[in-house]
Amino acid sequence: MTYAKIGYRVLDGVATIELNDPPANTYSYEMMREIDAAVLSARMDRAVHVIVVRGAGEKFFCAGANIGMLKDADPEFKYYFCLHANETLSRFEQTPKLVIAALNGHTVGGGLEVALAADIRIARKDAGKIGLPEVSLGVLPGTGGTQRLGRLVGKSRAIELMTTGRLMTFDEAKAIGLVNDVWDVPDFGAAIHDYAKQFTPPNRASKAVGASSEPCSPASK
């Protein structure tokens, strides 16, 4: 498949999906279809054991849905767009292969919802803010964030974050368990790739996380 809104490559057993729609890597229906296809491709590729999702550039991981696209859309399109986005992130979450979100920049709104569907979230120090500010638009997160955030940080804290729309630094997010770690490294992309490789054969961790060639049900994650 030819991709226009994402980059996709496989190297050393790691499939990297790069969200690429400047300036903020916002997602559209077209991008979500490409993400969906890339996840399926990585899932069916026996050479892939880990999936990394990151944003293109240095400023944004993803700033959520493309507001310009939604502004001109009718209610029926919005409904099916949101439904498909939910299905795509559920596929991300349920795929047996380990998924790592590399937060290389601002991770807000639907962008955080993408990251929440990953198994592990690693952020680049001082690269941006993270949070769910949808309340400022009069809505709540619509692609699983209300559920996944609560499972990570607890119901009360999740409600507080969503109803205030507060944005945090990545260090603050680590302190509450929203991200696993924050790295201050010269080459974040290379460091993430090296980190992901530990979960590929012949390393034993690959079997521990269900990324071996043996059948593995989504429920095992």
18, 58, 113, 172: the catalytic one is 113
Q: Which residues, listed in sequence order, are joined to residue 7 by a DSSP beta bridge?
A: 18
Cα–Cα distance, 100 to 53 (Å, whole number): 6
**Pseudo-torsion of CA 160, 177, 122, 173, nearest 10°?**
40
Class of residue 166 by CB neighbours under 10 A (exposed 0-12, middle 13-18, buried 19+): middle
134, 160, 172, 214: the catalytic one is 134
> Which residue's structure tokens are 């919005």?
78
Q: Are strands 106-108 and 60-62 parallel, antiparallel or unpaired?
A: parallel
Q: How far apart are the first and last CA of the chain?
A: 28
Q: Are strands 6-11 and 14-19 parallel, antiparallel or unpaired?
A: antiparallel
CA 198: distance to chain centroid? 20
H or E stretch covering 54 = strand 50-55
113 is catalytic: yes
Asked if 62 contacts 55 with a C-beta cutoff of 8 angstroms, the reply is yes
Question: Closest Cα partner for 18 from 144, 132, 104, 125?
Answer: 104
134 is catalytic: yes
Please give the single-letter amino acid code of residue 62.
Answer: C
- Residues with a known catalytic role: 113, 134
